[in-house]
C-alpha cells in the first residue's frame, strides 16, 4: 500500500517544514535536491498533488515583487468537467519563491525544450534520468514528500494552509468568523462553503482534544 498514512492529528509545523528542507539539502543529485525543495514550497500554496503534477514551466512567472504560479483546477459538476485556472503568489524575497526559481532555472538551463515543471524520470544504475516527453504522475509528488518525511503527505499541507488562515483570524478576531469560511474557500479553491466549514471544524476538534489531554 504505497498510499498508507501514519496516524496524526496535527498539520505540519514550521519546524517540520524546515527539517524537510534540511533533509532535501542532503540529496546529492542536484536536480532531485532542487525538485524536492521546490515541491515543499509549492505545497505551501495549499494545492493538490495532481495540480502540482500538471504544472508547466510557463505557469510560473515573476514581476518586480512576486512570483506567480498558475494552477489548473479541474471541477466535476454532475456529468460535466470544468477546467478553471487559479493563480497563487509568493513574495520574491520569500524562501519559497527562491526554491521554486532555483528549480525552474535548473530546468531551463539543462532541459531548455522541456515544457513540464515535473518531467517524468527514473533511476538507471544509480543515476536519475529525466524524460521530458511526459509529465510526472501525481503519485510521484507523494513519494517526493514521503522520502523527506514518512509522517507527512501532500494533503496535510492543504490542511496546513487552511489552519494558518484560521489561526490568523483567531488572533485578529478572537475566533473564526464567517469571513474565515470564505477566506478558506478562496484559498483552497473550494466549491462549497460547507467544505470550508469542515476544515474549521477539524481544527476546532483537534484543539479541544489537545486541551483535554493537557487537563
Domain boundaries, the chain: 14-152, 161-214
The confidence score (pLDDT) of residue 214 equals 43
Query: Rounded distance, CA 119 to CA 54, Å?
Result: 10
Average pLDDT, the chain: 89
The confidence score (pLDDT) of residue 79 equals 64
The confidence score (pLDDT) of residue 95 equals 97
Reported as type and span, the H/E element at residue 6 is none
Mean pLDDT of the 89-114 span:
97
At the fourth CATH level, the homologous superfamily of domain 14-152 is Intergrase catalytic core (1.10.443.10)
Mean pLDDT of the 192-206 span:
85
Q: At what angle do helices 178-187 and 193-214 cross, to 10 degrees?
A: 110
Tell me if the pTM is above 0.95.
Answer: no
All residues at 6 or more sequence positions from 101 whose CB lies less than 8 Å from its CB, including other chains: 62, 67
Amino acid at each position: 500500500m504505497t498510499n498508507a498514512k501514519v496516524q496524526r492529528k496535527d498539520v505540519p509545523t514550521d519546524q517540520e517544514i524546515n527539517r524537510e528542507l534540511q533533509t532535501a539539502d542532503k540529496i546529492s543529485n542536484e536536480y532531485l535536491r532542487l525538485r524536492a525543495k521546490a515541491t515543499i514550497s509549492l505545497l505551501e500554496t495549499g494545492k493538490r498533488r495532481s495540480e502540482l503534477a500538471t504544472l508547466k514551466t510557463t505557469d510560473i512567472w515573476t514581476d518586480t515583487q512576486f512570483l506567480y504560479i498558475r494552477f489548473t483546477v479541474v471541477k466535476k459538476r454532475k456529468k460535466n468537467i470544468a477546467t478553471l485556472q487559479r493563480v497563487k503568489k509568493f513574495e520574491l524575497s520569500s524562501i519559497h519563491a527562491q526554491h521554486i526559481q532555483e528549480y525552474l532555472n535548473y530546468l531551463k538551463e539543462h532541459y531548455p525544450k522541456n515544457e513540464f515543471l515535473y518531467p517524468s524520470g527514473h533511476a538507471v544504475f544509480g543515476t536519475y534520468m529525466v524524460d521530458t516527453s511526459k509529465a510526472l504522475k501525481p503519485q510521484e509528488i507523494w513519494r517526493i514528500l514521503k522520502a523527506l518525511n514518512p509522517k507527512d503527505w501532500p494533503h496535510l499541507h492543504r490542511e496546513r494552509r487552511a489552519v494558518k488562515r484560521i489561526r490568523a483570524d483567531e488572533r485578529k478576531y478572537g475566533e473564526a468568523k464567517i469571513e474565515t469560511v470564505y477566506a478558506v474557500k478562496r484559498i483552497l479553491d473550494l466549491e462549497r462553503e460547507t467544505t470550508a466549514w469542515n476544515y474549521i471544524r477539524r481544527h476546532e476538534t483537534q484543539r479541544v482534544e489537545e486541551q483535554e489531554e493537557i487537563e
